[in-house]
Amino acid sequence: TTVLGIEGTAWNLSAAIVDEDDVIAEVTETYRPATGGIHPREAAQHHAMYASTVIERLLKEFRGKCHHPKDIDAIAFSQGPGLGACLRTVATSARALAMSLDIPLVGVNHCIGHIEIGRWKTPAKDPVVLYVSGGNSQVLAHRAGKYRIFGETLDIGIGNALDKFARSAGLSHPGGPKVEEYAKNATGYVKMPYVVKGMDFSFSGLSTAAKDALKSSSIEDVCYSFQENAFAMLVEVTERALAHTGKSEVLLAGGVGANMRLREMLDVMCDDRGARFYVPERKFMGDNGAMIAYTGLLMFKSGTTTPIENSHVDPSFRPDTVDVTWIADKHQ
């Protein structure tokens, strides 16, 4: 089975063709804002401008590997969550492609895409997933036919919180990697809010507190303290999800997963609990076309397709509303 998938929920427009074994072709065009953060309308214009060349280059690469567009069985696309204007642009391209090739369309939940590529590209089988990106921060795990959300942010994603703080400190977008660099040279800890409510966490107050702390502390110390608090919150909830579900694997997903301090803290926690900790290669952590194509392949093979009339996008599409038809469930 061969599936073409298109991702474009935010800053990255990326299309890939995969089969069960590997990524056959992938082409990506990244929107980089000149100043500040992501402007939704500009990002959507970027995707609209590059959509056809990205697909053309992808099909050329595919043919170059002795395949033919006729070999493609389905077109998958990111149906949400994400920026509405970006999602609509990608969905329009996907529909056009599916109609011209006369093959089914598969609408994929972006969060589930992050999970499935991690399960594909690491040995993780049935993990607790910590999904941390710009727009999303969730702890998920498979149970009774769904990816349940065990905990999530009550306001903004951890990546956005880092980016927002970094911008207020005069650093360029994306801020996450810069905060990580500064944190390495810290000499002390500055007290910051630690907010875990039940199984949920919150980052907006922490981002603001970090901005205020810059008035009296060094940027190195503030970056370090921000990271220590935010990551401890994420690790605490991930650990409780492990205890609650009885699972023995943790999978890290999303762009913030590039952070080495976060990985170290998760690694220590997993070690203490006798759980295994998995991180996919960097290129499979941030938003990428392969994760949408591969999840589309799993869905397609288990009989799930999306009729054109049901292919509207959903900017707040929740992963726990999707029937996970591709995993046999022993509890059902």
Asked whether position 89 contacts Fe ion by CB under 5 A, the answer is: no
Distances (CA, A) of 117 to 254, 281, 282: 11, 10, 12
- Tell me which of 163, 221, 228, 249 binds ligand ATP, using CB under 6 A: 163
Q: Which of residues 123-162 bind Fe ion (CB under 5 A)?
A: 133
Count of CB atoms situated within 10 Å of the CB of 123:
10
Chain position carrying tokens 């804002």: 33
> Is beta strand 23-30 parallel, antiparallel or unpaired with respect to 74-80?
unpaired
Local structure of residue 70 (DSSP, 8 states):
G
Asked whether position 287 contacts ligand ATP by CB under 6 A, the answer is: yes
Spatial contact of 243 and 271, defined as CB atoms under 8 Å apart:
no
Two tokens, residue 221: 């110390």
Rounded Cα–Cα distance for residues 174 and 178 (Å) = 8
Asked whether position 287 contacts Fe ion by CB under 5 A, the answer is: yes
Asked whether position 159 contacts ligand ATP by CB under 6 A, the answer is: yes
# binding residues, ligand ATP (CB under 6 A): 25
Rounded to a whole number of angstroms, the minimum distance from the CB of residue 63 to ligand ATP is 29
**What distance lies between CA 325 and its chain's CA centroid?**
21
Spatial contact of 261 and 147, defined as CB atoms under 8 Å apart:
no
> Which span sits near ligand ATP by CB under 6 A: 43-51, 155-163, 190-198, 312-320?
155-163
Q: Which does 304 bind (CB under 5 to 8 A by kind): ligand ATP, Fe ion, none?
A: none
> Which span sits near Fe ion by CB under 5 A: 43-51, 141-149, 188-196, 284-292?
284-292
- Tell me which of 49, 196, 258, 327 binds ligand ATP, using CB under 6 A: 258
Spatial contact of 202 and 158, defined as CB atoms under 8 Å apart:
no
Give the residues lining the site for Fe ion (CB under 5 A): 133, 287
Footprint of ligand ATP (CB under 6 A): 9-11, 82, 110, 133-136, 157, 159, 162-163, 174-177, 180, 254-256, 258-259, 286-287
